Amino acid sequence: MKNGLPRYLTGLLLALLLAACATSPTGRRQLMLVPEDMAIQQSAQAYVAMLAPYKKEQKLDPDPEVTQRVRRITDRLVAVAKQMYPRTRDWDWQVHVIDDPETVNAWCMAGGRMAVYSGLLKKVKPTDDELAQVMGHEIAHALANHVAEQMSVAMASAIGATVVGSAIAAKHEHYGLALTGAALAAKLAIELPNNRTQEAEADRIGIELAARAGFDPRAAVTLWEKMAKVSGDGPPEILSTHPAPAHRMEAMRKLVPQMMPLYEQALRRLQLEGRGREEGVSRP
């Protein structure tokens, strides 16, 4: 075969495309050549590599108060995620604040490893409810296995098809043969734009996650109003991988009425839990 892949590789790729299908939390069919555990393993390596320069320059979690705030919000989101998606209970959930005042962005890798840049906190100035919408959206990408999906799409492309055989062999060797390339793919998966379907899916999952954690879903609209103002002459980095704020706001407005009952139910639960703690403290 002079051009393209050899026939046996082409046939293998077609067989994999037919067999490697999964279903997202919203019922969407996904191409999943890369298993979730591989995406999680490689994301763990990519996470360490991405944070290392900031740690060396003492730009990782430099403000304890800010870090505490971010972790307090994400802890509530993660608690709900574990309830809704039991497979995530064993994930190594982490979140760090990166001191980069010019970067307006946040992300979550496969396996629950997160980061938010100080630029988002300083320029957007989100309330707790608004920050919960940001982190809920990013967590939703991990819950919907979008990193593995992005890696799978790259693998199935004309450029990535030639590494299918190596990837399969690596799987049977505990992925040891493809660590460098796969870790790079995991890193690129959070940096390259998701498609509109994935973004809409993360919106839907994220706003529900935040509502169930007791964060006001109406903040999803005000968040993107702030994002639109911050964009100015040039959009912040987070907008390079997300739809335009106007489209986002309209979509969120339509979701808010569905989420309000979940939010109100969560508030009642939190109030009861708070009352229970106070009563417990007062007992002799």
Residue 264 vs residues 123, 225, 271: alpha-carbon distances, Å: 30, 23, 11
Beta strands 21-23 and 94-98, pairing class: unpaired
Helical ranges in the chain per DSSP H: 7-19, 36-56, 64-84, 118-119, 128-143, 146-156, 164-172, 179-191, 196-212, 219-231, 237-240, 245-282
* Integer Cα distance of 114 and 108 in angstroms: 4
Tell me, yes or no, if 36 is annotated catalytic.
Answer: no
Please pick, among 57, 102, 130, 138, the residue that the annotation labels catalytic.
Answer: 138
Q: Retrieve residue 221's tokens.
A: 């609209």
Q: Retrieve residue 50's tokens.
A: 């991405």
Neighbours of 90 (CB within 10 A): 11
For residue 165, give the amino acid letter: G
* Integer Cα distance of 219 and 212 in angstroms: 14
Give residue for tokens 């994930």: 91
Q: Retrieve residue 146's tokens.
A: 């979008």
The DSSP code sequence of 169-198 is HHHHTTTGGGHHHHHHHHHHHHHSPPPHHH
* Integer Cα distance of 268 and 130 in angstroms: 20
Which positions are annotated as active-site residues? 138
